[in-house]
Amino acid sequence: MSVKAILDEKGRNVVTVGPQMTVQQAAILLRDNHIGAVVILDADDQIAGILTERDIVAAIAKQGSTCLERPVAAVMWQNVYCCTEDMSVQTLMEMMSKLRARHLPVERNGQLAGIVSIGDVIKHHIRAIEHETEQIKAYIAG
């Protein structure tokens, strides 16, 4: 199984923002879309960063509520780790675990092609196990 299978199932829509959006606006976007991360794109639609709920909490803890008025570029994670569609789910899980990353943008030919969360990976993994269980039951009964 690959990252592509996860994206084919969940979709490829990604909530993105520009680097000048305020942290508060981004927080509202996260809440309204029931998501944990937004990808920040530069003027050329290249991945410039990622902002997660954790980043916002860390910024508030460090800088106080005034950070909410700052642009996301001031608090986003700039060293964005990405995965590719052809990466196996096993490799993706290992990468997310090693990096302690809950969200990874998916990149194809230098462009944003989707995003996967740890929840997406777990959901996909559980479905694969359930499918395998059903096949084993059918084989035994058959």
- Locate the domains of the chain by residue range: 3-141
E strands, 21-135, where? 37-41, 47-52, 103-108, 111-117
Q: Contact at 8 Å (CB) between 104 and 94?
A: no
What whole-number percentage of the chain has pLDDT above 70? 100
Between CA 69 and CA 74, with CA 73 as vertex, the angle to 5 degrees is: 60
pLDDT of residue 131: 86
pLDDT of residue 35: 96
Please say if the pLDDT value at position 116 is more than 90: yes
Please say if the pLDDT value at position 142 is more than 80: no
Predicted confidence (pLDDT) per residue in 37-74, tens digit: 999 999 999 999 999 999 999 999 999 999 999 999 99
Q: How far apart are CA 2 and CA 7, in angstroms?
A: 9
In this prediction the pTM is: 0.86
CATH of domain 3-141: 3.10.580.10
End-to-end CA distance of the chain: 26
Q: How far apart are CA 87 and CA 106, in angstroms?
A: 10
